[in-house]
Amino acid sequence: MKGKINKKYSRIRRYTKIRKKIQINCSFRLVVHRTSRHIYAQIISYNTSVISVCASTLEFKKLKIQNIYTGNKVSAKLIGQLIAKRALKKGIKIVSFDRSGFKYHGRVKELAESARISGLVF
């Protein structure tokens, strides 16, 4: 029990530091949230807190992508490409990467790298 509490507070401490740095730098932020089964990405305007673009692995049913496990790096890479494509369509090119306290490793890293390759700058 004690390990889970420390893990939660460590994540909270990380994301407060990240958001303080982002608040100074940019007007749009790419927010990533991950669970064991899904990964979610949103681009939020920092000034008005309005969600401009969003993508998640929950959309795979709508996109008719079947037989892909939604909790792995392949699906995170697809979500990174999808969020970048939608952001560029809306005219958003420069964003700050808000990983919500998650470590830059694994699925979060794959999402970020595929969004960069697809045209987002952060």
Structural domain boundaries in the chain: 2-117
CB 90 within 8 A of CB 116: no
CB 40 within 8 A of CB 53: no
Q: Has residue 1 got a pLDDT over 60?
A: no
Q: Confirm or reject CATH 3.40.50.970 for domain 2-117, answering yes or no.
A: no
| pLDDT averaged over every residue in the chain | 88
Q: Has residue 63 got a pLDDT over 80?
A: no
The pTM (predicted TM-score) of the whole model is 0.84
The dihedral over CA atoms of 30, 34, 40, 46, expressed in degrees to the nearest 10, equals -30
AA identity, residue 67: N
